[in-house]
Amino acid sequence: MDLFNSTFAPNILPQDGIVNYYGQIMSVKAAQEYTIQLLNNIAWKNDEAIIYGKHIITKRKVAWYADSNFAYTYSKITREALPWTAELLTLKKLTEEITQKTFNSCLLNLYQTGEEGMAWHSDDEKSLGKDTAIASLSFGAERKFAFKHKKTQEKVELFLQNGSLLLMHGATQTNWLHRLPPTKKISLPRVNLTFRTIVL
């Protein structure tokens, strides 16, 4: 086991997966600057999906950036990756240094208010490989994040702070679902970056 991880970011799951929460990995000032840059400079688009044969357009906005011109298919929609921006590359490097993992792509989510969230799911698409590591950086409004064990229904919840880092790896995607619950209490936006490794 990685000593840095186990010392500074203990596993928050009781079994069947590894989720390390590193907390805030930069100053609040730096996190606020990144939030503004990301809100302004990312090519945000409403997400699309085909669910039960119906074409759905989500309120939440998304963007996808990667090393090369990957095409990534999920919810039956194919998305073409954009080339890295300077700030995304800086954040990728920082994330890789702290987690000691490497990533080749980033799926970004913009939740404009607390009423936008993400439903229970696991990131287990074939293009991600089995039990791959996913690193999640959070900016802006602090939101609750929840895990639910697929068999026991056991729940683990935490708050993702502005400028914080969370790493999901091990058997997490096989055994646990996660979601970002909507809330009426928050009106400010949250930007989330999930660094992933796409295997072709």
Ligand X SMILES: O=C(O)CCC(=O)C(=O)O
Sign of the CA dihedral 178, 181, 186, 192?
positive
CB of 143 to ligand X, least distance (A): 7
Judged by CB under 6 A, the chain residues 144 through 183 that form the site for ligand X are 145, 160, 178, 180
For residues 142 and 38, what is the distance between their CA atoms, to the nearest angstrom? 16
Strands 82-83 and 54-66: parallel
Binding of residue 109 to ligand X (CB under 6 A) = yes
Per partner kind, with CB cut-offs from 5 to 8 A, the member of ligand X, Fe ion, none near residue 107 is ligand X
What DSSP string describes 86-150? HHHHHHHHHHHHHH----SEEEEEEE-STT--EEEE----GGG-TT--EEEEEEES-EEEEEEET
Nearer to ligand X, 5 or 105 (CB): 105
Nearest to 158 by CA among 7, 3, 13: 13
The residues that touch Fe ion, with contacts defined as CB under 5 A, are: 123
Per partner kind, with CB cut-offs from 5 to 8 A, the member of ligand X, Fe ion, none near residue 109 is ligand X
Task: State phi, psi for 24 to the nearest 5 degrees.
Answer: -75, 125
Binding of residue 95 to ligand X (CB under 6 A) = no
Nearer to Fe ion, 34 or 145 (CB): 145
CB of 123 to ligand X, least distance (A): 5
From residue 79, alpha-carbon distances to 155, 173, 181 in Å are 32, 22, 25
Per partner kind, with CB cut-offs from 5 to 8 A, the member of Fe ion, ligand X, none near residue 112 is none
For residue 134, the cross-strand partners are: 168
Per partner kind, with CB cut-offs from 5 to 8 A, the member of Fe ion, ligand X, none near residue 37 is none
Binding of residue 92 to ligand X (CB under 6 A) = no
Nearer to ligand X, 11 or 72 (CB): 72
Per partner kind, with CB cut-offs from 5 to 8 A, the member of Fe ion, ligand X, none near residue 105 is none
Binding site for ligand X (CB under 6 A): 107, 109, 118, 123, 136, 145, 160, 178, 180, 192, 194
